[in-house]
Amino acid sequence: MPFAIHVFPDRSGTAAENMASDFLLLQRYRPEDAIRVRHYSWSRPAYTFGMSQKYSYVRSEIADPLIDICRRPTGGGIVSHLEDWTYSLVIPSSHPFSQEEPNATYKGVHEMILAALSSQGVEATVNRKEASNHNPGVCFNKAELFDILLKNLPTKVAGAAQKRTKSGLLFQGSIWRPTVSNLNWNRFYNDFLFELCKLLDASLSYEDWPNWTESEEKALLNQFDSDDWNHRR
C-alpha cells in the first residue's frame, strides 16, 4: 500500500508544549506507518536549542531572561522563533527514506522546500559547503551543509534538526520569514505538501489532532518544561 501523509491542523503553543507535541507524534502516534506533518506557531516569544547544547551557553546568547526557551529532542543550534515559520515532519521507520543517511535525508527535505520556495520566484540554493566549525551555535548565524541560502548571498533561509528512534525520523525545521518577506505562506504550505508527496511517494490525508490521553500529554509537557530536561548539560 502507498504511504499516507497525515496533515494536522495548525496549533499555537509554548516552547515546551510544541516540543512535547512533536515528540508525541514521533513516539506515540497510531497508525505507526503514517507520515506526519504539521506547521505550528508560538503562543509567546520563544527560542529552542539543540539536544547536545549546554544550557549555560544558551543563556549567554539570549539576552531576555524572561524569554520562553526549551531544549529540543533533536540536535542543532539555538533557534529564534520570533519571526520564523516552523514545521515538524515524522517519517516512520517503515518508510525507505527514514533509513537513508542523515546528510541524505537533510538534503532531500531541504531540496523539497527549495522547490516550494522556487514556485514563488525565490532565488535560493542548497548550501554545498561543509561548515568549518561543527559545534552547534546560533542556527541562523551560520549555514550548515545542505541548509537553504539565498542565491549569491550568504543569507540563511532555512535550517532543521533531526532525531532518529525505532519509531522513525523526526525533522524540526525553521524558515526565517524576513529573508523571504514577499512569500504567500498559505500558497507555500500547499506547495510544501505537494513537493513532500513527490519526495516520499505518498498521498495527503487531512486529519484531526490526535486524541492522546491527558496523562500522556501532561507527562511529556512536564518533561520538556522541567529544569532536569533543560539544564541537563
Q: Per-residue pLDDT averaged across 155-170, rounded?
A: 96
In this structure, is residue 153 part of a structural domain?
no
Phi/psi of residue 168, each to 5°? 155, -160
Which residue range forms the structural domain that includes residue 88?
Answer: 3-96+161-230
Here the cell at position 12 is 499555537
Q: Among 50, 132, 101, which residue's Cα sits nearest to residue 143?
A: 132
In this structure, is residue 39 part of a structural domain?
yes
Say if residue 130's pLDDT is above 70: yes
pLDDT digits (tens, 9 = 90+) for 113-126: 999 999 999 999 99
Q: Is 38:11 a contact under the CB 8 Å cutoff?
A: yes
Beta strands 84-92; 168-176: pairing state: antiparallel
Rounded to the nearest 10 degrees, the angle between the axes of helix 15-27 and helix 214-224 is 120
In this structure, is residue 38 part of a structural domain?
yes
- In the structure, what pLDDT confidence band is assigned to residue 183 with cuts at 50, 70 and 90? very high
In this structure, is residue 115 part of a structural domain?
no
Rounded to the nearest 10 degrees, the angle between the axes of helix 102-118 and helix 185-200 is 140
In this structure, is residue 59 part of a structural domain?
yes
In this structure, is residue 122 part of a structural domain?
no
In this structure, is residue 128 part of a structural domain?
no
Count up the domains in the chain and report the number. Answer: 1
- In the structure, what pLDDT confidence band is assigned to residue 5 with cuts at 50, 70 and 90? very high
Q: Distance (Å, rounded) from C-alpha 49 to C-alpha 150? A: 24
Here the cell at position 59 is 543563556
CATH of the domain at 62: 3.30.930.10
In this structure, is residue 117 part of a structural domain?
no
- In the structure, what pLDDT confidence band is assigned to residue 20 with cuts at 50, 70 and 90? very high
